[in-house]
Structure 1
């Protein structure tokens, strides 16, 4: 009996020791920019190739990997009246599941085939076990943060679209993405921290003007509002190029990570993106690394190694 008691006690001690050890370890999160899996990247996957192969070891070594899914996934719906509509085949889902902890749906292409196709995509993502944020079947779901409890910390992620058409916006009774209204942004960040007790809050906005290397005044104003409201970092996308980095009140703002998987671009800037590694220490201090991605003629990223923060 004594031996059995000692054995159980030892197992309990080992269990709690492992928890304490985990809580004293840094958390690593990888963020990438726009992922478009239609057209040439879609054909690349159809041919049995892996568009993320060059970054596989980096992704797999992280605690979380986050990206922006810049297309509809599915086979249904009617194309919106706009210059470019993007829709990937559901065959891409296993690859996304293999690499990404969660994907943002808050962008200007997730609604390219209408709200019914958007809802169908949510069903596909759910069935595949792929987590998402910044979009949902109604307004409440779209604006809800996604939470990850890792190594003793609660991480909250919120995504917002700020690039038209606004017809993709989720409503009380319509599926869609989260639109970046100031009041919703403030309240979302506040609730994530104060109500849901997040230790780290990160916003992931889709904003800015295409091909502009410097953030606009509107981007800067909203980024500052996010930090003022309690965000610990702001990591943006959409302009198809990387943009400037700012430190505001000790918090880092990446205005755009640029393209990550995306074809049909021709310039050096549009074929260069960043994978950003965020390291959160046990005392909640944060540090950053940038790994450069160079896109080939198929829009597939190649790991070009770490670069200095500009």
Structure 2
């Protein structure tokens, strides 16, 4: 105290300094939310039979999913009793008994993919109604075009997170229209507009598009994916996550924001190759400033279509790459 007074500092200034320090130490840290994204979840065929027998294909990843504040999956099938299969090589329809299981394991599903319309618009609309009744939030589709492009808003720890879903893989006949149900199709201008609107109108702190895109069985993203991913981040997305190729693809960081082009399959049977039976669970730690941490938990899918974690999480370096 004498030291401060000898140097002409007033008691008032010292008190203010000490109180300010105590106040700063007492201030809460910035809120963060952990989000886990998993890839294609197909609960028809053999996985559906396993669910009927009482098995939970999410069980091996239960701890990883439980530790997250928000859990998101791509639902790669229609869940309904109605409809007839459309004319395409593979059609997937799961029994409604899978919905309570989904609700226990994930907080939201994207329906923006090329299998949501496998049994026609009636079955798709039935699925949306059943998910509402079950209390399972969804995005990337709706009863009409406007609803399909609305973000799903999730609030955790004071943060407002907007999830958007888009399909880029044909048939485009599954797209929602002004007067009929369907999925959100990926048109560049509309996607950018949706991202900006999520912030300006819905006041989202974090905006993440979940894409269904790319070429099947290709380990690297194509030029179209890369161009669109950058466009979305330039429009204000905090990260871009993708599915569809049935294999995992490369990742990159653009403007400090992660792009994970394909998470691969997650719950899916019928594949023999190791690449097709590799599953990624992406964990993002987000704050008001965007993504603070990102990591990938690798899984291996067994013959039943069930993923099992292998090893520990692998971090994604969010620092800008050095110039060539």
**Aligned mate of 1:161, from 151, 158, 167:** 167
Matched, 1:271 2:289: no
Residue 113 (structure 1) aligned to one of 116, 119, 138: 119
- The answer for the alignment partner of 1:191 in structure 2 is 197
Q: What SS does structure 1 have at the residue aligned with 2:296?
A: strand
Task: Please state how far the C-alpha of 1:169 moved relative to its aligned partner.
Answer: 0.2
Change (3 A) 1:172 1:284: same
Q: Which residue of 2 aligns with 1:243?
A: 249
Name the structure 2 match of 1:179: 185
1:34-93 Cα offsets, whole Å, 9 max, x none, are 000001100110000110001111111111000000000011101110000000001101
TM-aligned CA distance change 1:284 to 1:229, over 3 Å: closer
Structure 1 residue aligned with 2:99 = 93
Aligned twin of 1:8: none
Partner of 2:41: 35
Structure 2 partner of 1:293? 299
Larger radius of gyration: 2
Identify the match of residue 128 of structure 1 among 125, 134, 141.
134
| Alpha-carbon separation, structure 2, partners of 1:181 and 1:292 | 31
Distance in 2 of aligned mates of 1:132 and 1:33 = 15
Closer/same/farther in 2, CA of residues 29 and 22 from structure 1, 3 Å limit: farther
Using the TM superposition, give the Cα deviation of residue 308 of structure 1 relative to its aligned residue in structure 2, in angstroms.
Answer: 2.9
TM-score in terms of structure 1 length: 0.91
3-state SS in 2 of match to 1:112: coil
Gaps of 5+ in 2: 1-25, 317-324
Please say if residues 284 and 291 of structure 2, whose CA atoms lie closer than 8 Å, have aligned partners that are also in contact. Answer: no
Aligned partners of 2:112 and 2:140 also within 8 Å = yes
Cα distance in structure 2, aligned partners of 1:40 and 1:79: 18
> Cα distance, 1:197 vs. partner?
1.2
- Select the residue among 39, 49, 73 that pairs with 1:67: 73
Structure 2 CA distance, aligned partners of 1:39 and 1:284? 39
Structure 1 partner of 2:239: 233
- Give the CA RMSD over aligned residues: 1.5
- In the alignment, the residues of structure 2 paired with residue 306 and residue 280 of structure 1 have an alpha-carbon distance, to the nearest angstrom, of 20
2:312 match: secondary structure:
strand
After superposition, the Cα gap between the structure-2 partners of 1:265 and 1:130, relative to the gap in structure 1 and judged at 3 Å, is: same
Looking at structure 2, the residues matched to 68 and 251 of structure 1 have their Cα atoms a distance apart, in angstroms, of 21
The match for 1:9 is none
Cα pair distance change 1:22/1:123, threshold 3 Å: farther
Once residues 25 and 207 of structure 1 are traced to their aligned partners in structure 2, the CA distance between those partners, rounded to angstroms, is: 32
3-state secondary structure, aligned to 1:149: strand
Partner deviation per Cα, 1:127-146 (whole Å, 9 max, x = no partner): 11000000100001101001
Structure 2 distance, partners of 1:180, 1:264, is: 28
2:239 and 2:291 in contact (8 A); partners too: no
What's the CA shift for 1:285?
4.5
Distance 2:28 2:279 in 1: 32
**1:281 Cα deviation after fit:** 3.9
Determine if contact 2:31/2:159 at 8 Å carries over to the other structure. Answer: no
Name the structure 2 match of 1:259: 265
Q: Which moved more, 1:89-98 or 1:24-33?
A: 24-33
Residue number in structure 2 paired with 1:53: 59
The runs of 5 or more residues in structure 1 that have no matched partner are: 1-19
- Tell me the secondary structure at the aligned position of residue 109 of structure 2: strand
